């Protein structure tokens, strides 16, 4: 948990499929793109929650979900994805707490390298990542091949 002003605590917990609609709401309010027919579909999230329940985490305040993070791994390297906090709760260490918890979950799995992809215009996320010890690698170019725009 992370301490908040006025004695309120933020609880970090595992997400469940019951959280899906609120997760989508948080992503949308945070300006993250959302692929409802692809990787962020309810069916896709269900598979991920069932396969790696320790890697999908939410921040809760007064029983309300206010932030989320999805970690993943193929076994060799870990990734942090979909880090989002509702706009009115930003700047209070919630994204940092979520990131640290997700890193711990990946490390428990033996992961020694953790990466995250951040759009270059997202300076808040870049600054958070740098404050947590992540360094940009200008030698790497991110390429993707997608089945469709929804993937």
* In the predicted structure, residue 2 carries a pLDDT above the cut 60: no
Is pLDDT above 60 for 114? Answer: yes
The answer as to whether 38 is a domain residue is yes
Does a structural domain hold residue 116? yes
Residue 142 — φ and ψ, nearest 5°? -85, 120
Q: What is the mean pLDDT of the chain?
A: 92
CATH of residue 110's domain is 3.40.630.30
Residue 149 has what pLDDT? 79
pTM: 0.89
Q: Which residue has the tokens 């991920």?
A: 48
If one counts the domains in the chain, the total is 1
Instruction: Tell me the two tokens of residue 102.
Output: 């997700």
Q: Note whether 114 and 79 are within 8 A (CB).
A: yes
Q: What's the domain range around 7?
A: 2-131
Which residues, other chains included, contact 119 with Cβ-Cβ below 8 Å and sequence gap of 6+? Answer: 125
Per-residue confidence (pLDDT) for residue 6, from 0 to 100:
54
Q: Is the per-residue pLDDT at 5 higher than 90? A: no
- Give the per-residue pLDDT at 7: 57
Q: What DSSP designation does 1 have?
A: -
Q: Considering the domain boundaries, does residue 23 fall inside one?
A: yes
The DSSP symbol for 51 reads H
């Amino acid at each position: 948990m992370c301490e908040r002003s006025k004695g309120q605590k933020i609880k970090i917990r595992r997400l469940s499929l019951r959280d899906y609609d609120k997760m989508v709401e948080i992503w949308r309010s945070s300006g993250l793109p959302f692929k409802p027919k692809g990787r962020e579909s309810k069916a896709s999230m269900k598979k991920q929650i069932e396969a790696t329940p320790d890697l999908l985490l939410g921040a809760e305040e007064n029983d309300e979900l206010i932030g989320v993070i999805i970690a993943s791994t193929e076994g060799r390297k870990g990734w942090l994805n979909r880090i989002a906090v509702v706009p009115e709760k930003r700047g209070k260490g919630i994204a940092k707490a979520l990131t640290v918890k997700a890193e711990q979950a990946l490390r428990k799995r033996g992961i020694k390298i953790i990466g995250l992809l951040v759009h270059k215009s997202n300076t808040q996320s870049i600054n958070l990542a740098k404050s947590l010890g992540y360094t940009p690698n200008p030698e790497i170019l991110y390429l993707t091949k997608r089945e469709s725009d929804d993937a």
